[in-house]
Chain A
C-alpha cells in the first residue's frame, strides 16, 4: 500500500539527480520532425502493430522501414484511408503489393488524416534511426530510468552535441563579424597591439558580462532543470522496462513466438476476470508431462510439484492497489490484443514491462480507442445515441471511460 509506494518514490526521487543532469538531453524531445513521433508511436501500436513492423521484417503486411523513400506522403495517406479504393483504381504498386501478400487486404483507417499518417511516419523514422544508432543488445538503461517514452538516448546525445557545435560556430562567427566590422570602420588603431585571440577573448568576456545574456542563461538553466524535474517526477513509480529474472527461465519467444501457443491456453483468466492469471503448474504439465522432461528448467516444475510448493514468479506488471484493471473488460469485451499493452511478447526471451502503465497512458488509450460495439447488445443504445450526436466513431471516453470510479474505488 502506501508504505510500498513511499519506498518506491524515495528510490525514484534519488534518480531525479541523475535525471537533472540529463536535463538538456530530455529537452531534445521537443526537437522533432514534421510529425509527432510520440503520438505516432501510440497510433502505430494501437492500429498498425498487429500487422506491421516499423523495421523491415514482415509480420502480416510488409515492414515499414523506408516507406517514405518508397512512396510519397499523398499516396500513403490515400492508401491508409482506403486501401481497397487504391487497388480498385488500378494503382500499379498497390496491386503488386496486394498480390504479393496473398490478396490479403489491409484494414482501412478512414479516420486517419495527414496529421496521423505524418505522426506514424515520424515514429517509423525515429524507430529506425534509433536502432541504427544503437546496435541491438545495448539495452537502453537510461530510458528505463527516466521512464520516458522519448527517443533513444544516443540519438539525443548526438543532437545535443550538434547543438553545442552549432552554438560554438555561432559564437565564432559573431566574433569574426565584430572584428571585421571594426576593421572596416577604420577602428584599426584601437585594436593595435592586441592579437586576434585577445580580441576574441575580450569580446567573449564582454558578451558574458552582459546582464541580459547572464539572466537569459540563468533562466534557461532554471527552466531546463524544472522541466527535467517535472518529467522525472512523472516517471516515479513507473517501471517501464522492468525485466526481472524469473525462477524458471520460461521463454515466451519459444512458446508464443515459435510454437505459436495461444495466449489463452496458459493465461486462462484473461477472458473471465481481473487477472489474466499466471498458469498453474498443472497447465505446464499438459505438455511437459511428455515434452523435454529432462530439461533442468522443467525439472524445477517437477520439483515444485513433488514438494507441493507453488512456483513464486516475480510480478512484472505492478498496478498500484488503488487502480482497478480488468483483463476481461479489455480482452474479452474490448477485443484488445495482448501485444497492445504487453508489447511483442512473442519475441521476448525474458518478459519486460513495455508500457508505462501510468494513468496518462491509460487515459490516452481510452481517448483514442473505438469501443468494440459490434455484436454486443450492451452498447446498442449507446451507439444509437452517439450516432445522433456525432459522426466520429464511439470512443471509450464517450461512454465514461475517463471517469474516476471506472478504475478507482
Chain B
C-alpha cells in the first residue's frame, strides 16, 4: 500500500507530540472533526507512551462526567498539556480566525465560530496548529478577525503558544519570541518555491530544509490496524477512505499486516 497523505500527517503530528524539547504531553484533548490529530494521539499511545487521551466527540465513553465545561475547567488549571487548533484563516503571527472573513462577525464568508479557541490557545502549555488545506486563502498575511491571538503582550497570563503548524504541504515551527514561523520540513512532491507560492505570509527558511520523513512500517501497521479499530465508531468515513476499512469494521485482507488476534472490538462497529 502506498503511504496516504493522512498517514504521513498523523505520523508527523505524533513526532511533534513526542518532541523532547517541548513540554511533556501527559493529557491531550482532541476536538470534534479532527480524525488526523486523533490518529496521531492514538499513535503516540499505541507506541507505548503513557498519555491520557480525551476525545471530545466520542459517541460512547465521552471522557467527562461534568459536561463540556469540564474540558475548560481542566485546561484552566493546566491539566490539559496539548490541544489542536485550526482556523479558516491563519496568519504569519499564528493568529487564528475561526469567525469569518470581512468585517466582524464575518460579513464575507462566515465560519462556524471561535468555539473555545480564545481560551484554549492561552491556557494549554502548547498547541499544534493543523490545517490540511495549504493555500493563500487560508495562510494569509493578516487574519481579517482574531478569534485567538498567536502571541500576547507581556503581563497577559498565557501558558503557551503554537508549537508548530502542520499542513498538507509542510511543517512550520513557530517562534513566539519573534512571532514568526520557520519552515521545518517539506512533504514529498513540494519545494520551497511551491510552498512560498501557496503561503500568504512570510516565513523563515534555513539553508537546508529536510523532507518530512515517511511513516515507518511499524507506524503504518499501527495506524491501519489497532488505531483504525479505535477510530471506527467516531470516524467511519475517514477509516473507509484512508484505511480502506468497510463500515462493518472487518479489516480487508492483508491490511496492516498484523499478526495479532482480532479482538471483539474489531467487529463491534
Co-assembled chains A and B:
no
B contact residues vs A (CB 8 Å cutoff): none
